[in-house]
Structure 1
Amino acid sequence: MEEPQQQRGLQNRHIQLIAIAGTIGTGLFLGAGKTIKMSGPSIIFAYIIIGIAMFFFLRAIGELLYRDPTQHSFLNFVTKYAGVRTGYFTQWSYWLVIIFVCISELSAIGTYIQFWLPQVPLWLIEIVMLILLFGLNTLNARFFGETEFWFAMIKVAAILGMIATAIILGFGHFSYTTVLSGKSVTGSVSLSNIFTHFQFFPNGVWNYVGALQMVMFAFTSMEFIGMTAAETVNPRKSLPKAINQIPVRILLFYVGALLAIMAIFDWHYIPADKSPFVMVFELIGIKWAAALVNFVVLTSAASALNSSLFSATRNMYSLSKQHDKGRLTPFTKLSKAGIPINALYMAVILSLFAPVLTLIPQIKNAFDFAASCTTNLFLVVYFITLYSFWQYRKSADFDKNGFLTPKAKLTIPFVTFIFALVFLSLFFNSDTFYPAVGAVVWTIAFGLFSRFKKI
């Protein structure tokens, strides 16, 4: 009998729309409320600045992938230009990052479902949803691509619908009276809600700095855009186009959505623990529409979790084939559908930390805690990637006629500074302090292990 083979069933339409929707995540749908509450309208500048930094970071990844399209992941360049041991550390760290993404997205899913089932415990909701998505991931890759395609369609439609709603209500001079954050609020939809009595740091500089983590979380995983573009038939044609469209996506999806939210109602009354997307429709009195939007953001989180389980499974499979053969060989086992089934089991088991977090009284918000862990480990990987990029620039492989990063001698230090600022901001917030310390401990401990391990 023939051995099962890992399946590659994604089509170009799957890759392109998943790449577009990859700029929209739970960090925007759920985290926007907290960032607006902490920083007010000026949080838009944080999205723009961090968005610019991510654009140049992706241009650096794009330059590497354009030089060698046979490499399907930017992590391979870390091994090539920063050394085998650094590559080992980075590959396993990135896998752990994806596991934390699974945990954070599962926490978000529980929050959304409690909109309909407030009496059901979060931990129970999360376990049931994880079982369902595990079932989806046992099917072939083509089914995964089709599921993600429609999830992506829903996410894009949600953002465009939000912006269109704000425009229509604004031109119609829509007024309302509602209860927000326990207070009766009367207002009208207008851009003046954003600019009246504008202050850059309405709640202090440290609150603004503390909000940077959630903004960064909204952008993490954008490197998937470069990697998915590299999987197309002609990567040297699709890669520059996909990455260069990112500024437009940032302006439309992030800045456009935030402007729409804050134009509809006074940002002072937006609660930090509730999705503004749901609140918009509650404000105008359409209860069923609020439920619909809650379904949209639920599908967004389910999409992110589905993608993360898919990615964590494939990463574990790849790492098990590369390293520690014998001990990790069981994780290379494929199901009849070509799915690395044991690697999937491992990803699901580790994702069960989400319901565990909800039961720990010291953790006030499981989503914030997991998102913080995700952000700081992503940043560790990003720092190493930037170092590897500079090593490539110094090597004989550097192609002066390739898809070059604009003004790299200026833009890459700018990216490094912004990432470092975000990382340091994690130490000045009680919700993110311990995850930040954990990232430092992981980097030192696993870094030393990787340094002295026989590879």
Structure 2
Amino acid sequence: MAAKENADGTKRELTKRHVQMIALGGTIGTGLFLGASNSIMKTGPSILLVYLILGVIFFLMMRGIGEMMYHDPDKHTFISFIKKYLGPQIGYFAGWTYWLGIIFVAMAELTAVSKYVQFWFPTWHTWTIQLCVLAVLVAINLIAVGLFGEAEFWFAMIKITAIVVMIVVGLAMVFMNFKTPIGHASFGNITNHFSMFPNGFGSFVAAFPMVFFAFQGMEFIGITTSETQNPRKVLPKVINEIIYRVLIFYIGAILVIMAIYPWNSLDPTQSPFVQVFELAGLKAAAAVINFVVLTAAASALNSYMYSAGRHFYQLALDSPNSKFMQGFRKISRTGVPARGILFSAALVLIGPILNSLPQISNAFTFITSVSSDLYIIVYLLTMLAHRKYRESRDFDPNGFLMPGYKFTSPLVIGFFTAIYVSLFITGENVLPAIGGLVWTVGFIGILTLVGKKKKAAMNPTDID
């Protein structure tokens, strides 16, 4: 059966299995495969609590986004609701902020992809790898949204397979009381001499921003709705399954890692998956996990290209008076915002150039950190827009409602605020957090001044 075509030319080619895997692909990334060792070492067993709390908060945020998307599944991005319910200026700020955030994170992912490829081909030039990888992923995005969904399905399948295998192997080692060079695999490695905050409560608090950014990307579900077949049937099922995925793929994996490898014996510079598989006797563990993290980074980059194209298309629609943006308000014959994707990809290619210059590399790292911090602000605005939706005539009491709204909505907003405040506690996050505030205040300030000038020009008054 042919995919339904929307009024603007985009096509509903994404199926339930595509959206499910996009949700997983957006949530499970290199933060788990590479960064978990560092988080576990800093926090100890309480890292499980950090993942559980953040998993619940992100699930509730997705229920808020899902409620608005269920009401209006034709929206190309969840950012559209910020504009609708918080005003055009705030919406414009959120749109540009989120798109720029995507571009900078995509730059970082492209840099990571080249490093993973050089694990096997150290003589290959970085720029050659990055150009080829980006060209392939852009082509996937340009051909059809269904091809993008299929690529994400298989990228995510590789990641899920690696986690499931690790959990199964780990549990087998535990139940067999498997002897390793550092002891025995046992849940006693977690409970013996248990300390909830072995490195102090401050380290526990500092773990929240680290793990928060590991969940970043879950909101991509809210970008696929307008191109999903039967979204009002698919969306609730996919969002409701998020909490189970978090429990199995994050908490399950970390629980098994700490059962095999005493948490205070992990090497924070090495992937915990590599360390576990090496203890199990897999000599090629480093190569296998490098392949997995390569696909994880490629999956993230693929999703960022998809998201960037849709958001830039939406920005073009929201800029009717801009001659520059006029050409980006068109959908290609294949049903995708091709010009928005190509323009975004061209900007992503600037990242490797900046990263290769020693004078600018630190600035690039800083900007990437700022863009990640800005996601928190966009999430906050999204939840505030959800509150306005609840108060509006659009509210559908029979829709896909956020559970316990009166309690959960302020909980999520308060938690995101607390996460941003916590960035000022840890030294390495202070400058990017300040940068995020400067960007926010400066952008909205400029928009306000421009708005006042336009209003004054339209309604001139006599000056005595």
TM superposition score category, shorter chain reference:
0.7 to 0.9
Give 1:164's aligned residue.
168
Q: Are 2:399 and 1:402 equivalent residues in the alignment?
A: yes
Q: Is the 1:317–1:332 Cα contact (8 Å) retained in structure 2?
A: yes
After the TM superposition, which residues 56-455 of structure 1 pair with which residues of structure 2 at under 5 Å, given as runs? 56-117=60-121, 126=130, 129-177=133-181, 186-228=182-224, 231-323=227-319, 324-332=321-329, 340-352=337-349, 354-355=351-352, 356-357=354-355, 359-360=357-358, 372-454=369-451
Q: How many residues align?
A: 443
Give 1:182's aligned residue.
none
Report the alpha carbon displacement of residue 386 of structure 1 after superposing the two structures with TM: 1.4
Deviations 1:60-88 (A, max 9, x none): 11222222333343222212211111111
Give 1:180's aligned residue.
none
How does the TM-score come out when normalised to structure 1?
0.87
Report the alpha carbon displacement of residue 131 of structure 1 after superposing the two structures with TM: 4.3
Q: Is the 1:230–1:238 Cα contact (8 Å) retained in structure 2?
A: no
Q: Distance in 1 between matches of 2:426 and 2:100?
A: 23
Report the alpha carbon displacement of residue 361 of structure 1 after superposing the two structures with TM: 7.4
Change (3 A) 1:397 1:342: closer
Q: Are 2:40 and 1:44 equivalent residues in the alignment?
A: no
Structure 2 counterpart of 1:349, one-letter code:
A
Deviations 1:275-315 (A, max 9, x none): 21222222333222431222112101101101101210222
Structure 1 counterpart of 2:237, one-letter code:
K
SS at match of 1:427: coil
SS at match of 1:271: coil
Moved more, 202-211 or 45-54: 202-211
Structure 1 counterpart of 2:193, one-letter code:
H
Q: Is the 2:99–2:312 Cα contact (8 Å) retained in structure 1?
A: yes
Structure 2 counterpart of 1:357, one-letter code:
N
Change (3 A) 1:413 1:200: same
Q: Distance in 1 between matches of 2:46 and 2:124?
A: 37
Q: Is the 1:126–1:354 Cα contact (8 Å) retained in structure 2?
A: no
Structure 2, unaligned runs of 5 or more: 1-7, 455-464
Moved more, 327-336 or 218-227: 327-336
SS at match of 2:284: helix
Q: Distance in 1 between matches of 2:346 and 2:176?
A: 51
Q: Distance in 2 between matches of 1:353 and 1:284?
A: 42
CA RMSD in angstroms comes to 2.9
Structure 2 counterpart of 1:305, one-letter code:
L
Structure 1 counterpart of 2:26, one-letter code:
G
Report the alpha carbon displacement of residue 140 of structure 1 after superposing the two structures with TM: 3.1
Moved more, 332-341 or 155-164: 332-341
Moved more, 162-171 or 355-364: 355-364
SS at match of 1:432: helix
Q: Distance in 2 between matches of 1:448 and 1:385?
A: 20
Q: Is the 1:281–1:289 Cα contact (8 Å) retained in structure 2?
A: yes
Q: Is the 2:22–2:220 Cα contact (8 Å) retained in structure 1?
A: no
Q: Distance in 2 between matches of 1:272 and 1:361?
A: 28
Q: Distance in 1 between matches of 2:13 and 2:74?
A: 18
Deviations 1:299-337 (A, max 9, x none): 011011011012102221231233143022344466665
Q: Is the 1:122–1:358 Cα contact (8 Å) retained in structure 2?
A: no
Moved more, 110-119 or 14-23: 110-119
Q: Distance in 2 between matches of 1:244 and 1:359?
A: 45
Deviations 1:59-116 (A, max 9, x none): 1112222223333432222122111111111111111121133123224324433443
Q: Is the 1:86–1:450 Cα contact (8 Å) retained in structure 2?
A: no
Give 1:181's aligned residue.
none
Report the alpha carbon displacement of residue 160 of structure 1 after superposing the two structures with TM: 1.1
Structure 1 counterpart of 2:93, one-letter code:
F
Change (3 A) 1:350 1:205: farther
Q: Distance in 2 between matches of 1:361 and 1:203?
A: 35
Q: Is the 1:369–1:431 Cα contact (8 Å) retained in structure 2?
A: no
Q: Distance in 2 between matches of 1:27 and 1:357?
A: 20
Change (3 A) 1:146 1:282: same
Q: Percent identity between the aligned chains?
A: 45
Structure 2 counterpart of 1:144, one-letter code:
F
Q: Distance in 1 between matches of 2:381 and 2:98?
A: 11
